[in-house]
Amino acid sequence: MHSMTNRTAMPETCSELHAPTVVVLLLLTLSILTAIALWPRGPFYILAVGPGLTQIELFDVLERAGGRFVAEGPTRWTAFVYSDASDFAARARVSGAFFTLQSPILSICREPS
Lowest mean per-residue pLDDT among 10-14, 69-73, 74-78: 10-14
DSSP result, 9-38: PPPSSHHHHHHHHHHHHHHHHHHHHHHHHH
The pLDDT of 52-76, averaged and rounded, is 92
If pLDDT is split at 50, 70 and 90, which confidence band does 107 have? Answer: very low
If pLDDT is split at 50, 70 and 90, which confidence band does 33 have? Answer: confident
Rounded-to-integer distance, Cα 61 and Cα 29, Å: 33
Residue 60's beta-bridge partner residues?
none
pTM (two decimals): 0.57
Rounded-to-integer distance, Cα 17 and Cα 27, Å: 18
Average model confidence (pLDDT) for the chain? 79
The pLDDT of 102-107, averaged and rounded, is 63
pLDDT for position 74: 86
